């Protein structure tokens, strides 16, 4: 009887520890793997209950205790595995875990099994792993929010229409400023969270980017307003041009630049692309100064 139980005990332990791949749990059919592990534990519990009824000798009770300890050990690991298979976990979290236990391991390796988890004593770190997993979930909402901001700006286009025969103009910026306001509120909310640290660089990048968008759109509209006013005066009005030759020359310079800028923006209306155009803000600011002097 003792030898039979030892065989059963070892088989249960082997099934629980050696056949369950960490790679499958974390990166494959997670629920099926966890269920397989839970089934193995349940099987061990059944054998334990059955044998408790018939075990009498000390050596038999010793084997029973061995089985009980192993089954409980694996049973306690299940919540740890469920925390570790959190899809919100990123490489920085695994590095944090490695630093905490002082040992390295690769959960993505198909060769890693539950034996390794037990050897590393990860069940002894269940509390800190749970905290780490919970933090990862909170961080994921920030990560997804930043991705949403990126996607929105990469798809947003300037509302540009033809103006007269050979020009273009910005028709409306309502959608831009609506998105700006929404994103600025989102970024402020992210910075108020204690989980924002991992994304501080990216959040700062988007704050600077949105600030630059505001600057570019503001000066773009200022230049457009002044240009449209002066275009009515100087284009085709030879008598005025003769009376104001210097002013006409300045306007012609700005007029050509404006035509080039708006033609380029019309060819690629993506606002994110426009913001990244080197020197655009400075060029628009210079054009506005020149128009103000005309």
d(CA 19, CA 22): 10
Residue 114 has pLDDT above 80, yes or no: no
Residue 244 has pLDDT above 60, yes or no: yes
Structure tokens, 24: 């499958």
The predicted-structure confidence for 179-197, as pLDDT tens digits, reads as follows 999 999 999 999 999 999 9
Residue 176: count other Cβ atoms within 10 Å of its Cβ.
Answer: 20
65 — pLDDT class (breaks 50, 70, 90): low
The pLDDT > 90 percentage for the chain reads 54
Domains in the chain: boundaries = 2-138, 156-293
Q: Which helix (H) or strand (E) holds 220?
A: helix 200-234
d(CA 16, CA 271): 55
15 — pLDDT class (breaks 50, 70, 90): low
Residue 63 has pLDDT above 80, yes or no: no
Question: Which fold, 156-293?
Answer: Butyryl-CoA Dehydrogenase, subunit A; domain 3 (1.20.140)
């Amino acid at each position: 009887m003792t030898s039979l139980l030892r065989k059963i005990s070892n088989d249960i332990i082997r099934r629980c520890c050696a056949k369950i791949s960490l790679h499958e749990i974390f990166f494959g059919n997670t629920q099926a793997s966890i269920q397989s592990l839970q089934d193995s534990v349940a099987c061990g519990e059944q054998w334990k209950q059955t044998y408790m009824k018939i075990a009498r000798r000390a050596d038999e009770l010793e084997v029973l205790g061995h089985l009980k300890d192993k089954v409980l050990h694996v049973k306690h690991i299940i919540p740890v595995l469920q925390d570790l298979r959190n899809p919100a976990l990123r490489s920085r979290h695994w590095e944090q875990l490695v630093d905490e236990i002082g040992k390295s391991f690769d959960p993505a390796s198909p060769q890693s099994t539950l034996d390794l988890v037990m050897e590393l004593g990860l069940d002894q770190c269940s509390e800190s792993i749970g905290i780490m997993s919970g933090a990862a979930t909170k961080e994921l909402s920030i990560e997804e929010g930043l991705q949403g901001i990126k996607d929105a700006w990469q798809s947003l286009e300037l509302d540009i229409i033809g103006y007269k025969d050979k020009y273009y103009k910005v028709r409306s910026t309502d959608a831009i400023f609506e998105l700006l306001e929404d994103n600025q509120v989102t970024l402020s909310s992210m910075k108020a969270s204690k989980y924002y640290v991992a994304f501080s660089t990216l959040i700062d990048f988007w704050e600077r980017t949105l600030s630059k968008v505001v600057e570019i759109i503001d000066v773009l509209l200022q230049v457009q307003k002044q240009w449209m006013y002066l275009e009515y005066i100087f284009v085709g009005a030879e008598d005025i041009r003769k009376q104001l030759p210097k002013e006409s020359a300045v306007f012609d310079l700005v007029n050509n630049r404006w035509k080039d800028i708006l033609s380029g923006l019309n060819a690629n209306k993506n606002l994110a692309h426009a913001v990244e155009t080197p020197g655009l803000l400075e060029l628009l600011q210079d054009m506005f100064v020149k128009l103000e002097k005309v």
